[in-house]
Amino acid sequence: MSTFITKGLVTAATLAVLLIGYGVQAQAPATKEAAPKAAAAKKQPACKTVKAQATCEGRTECQWVAESKDAKGKVKAKAYCRTKAAK
């Protein structure tokens, strides 16, 4: 019977610590760092990470480079997306 009471007290204490920790976290003030991270998350990935031709051509700053083949038809260089050269 005493082990049942001991386990119950340990469980209740653990639950109380978790609830207090959650309450403190919920009341924490919002930091100013959240706004720059959100803006950085909205930034589009670099052209070199784009793998689809339609996506690459849909962006104004990117250029699609077609694959190149030799005379036998073997692919020498795969197609890829890159940033357009600055004018």
Q: Does 4 lie in the same domain as 38?
A: yes
Q: HSE, CB side, 13 Å, CA atoms: give it for residue 55.
A: 12
Is it the case that residue 12 has pLDDT exceeding 60? yes
* Predicted model pTM: 0.47
The total domain count for the chain is 2
Tokens of 74: 């073997």
Q: Does 31 lie in the same domain as 20?
A: yes
| DSSP 3-state of 83 | strand
63/84 Cα distance (integer angstroms): 6
Is it the case that residue 76 has pLDDT exceeding 80? yes
22/65 Cα distance (integer angstroms): 52
Provide the 8-state DSSP code for 49: G
Is it the case that residue 32 has pLDDT exceeding 70? no
Is it the case that residue 59 has pLDDT exceeding 80? yes
What's the rounded mean pLDDT across residues 35-56? 78
Beta carbons within 10 angstroms of residue 32's beta carbon: 7
Given this model, what pLDDT does residue 35 score? 58
Which position has the higher pLDDT, 61 or 36?
61
Tell me the residue range of the domain where 66 lies.
44-87
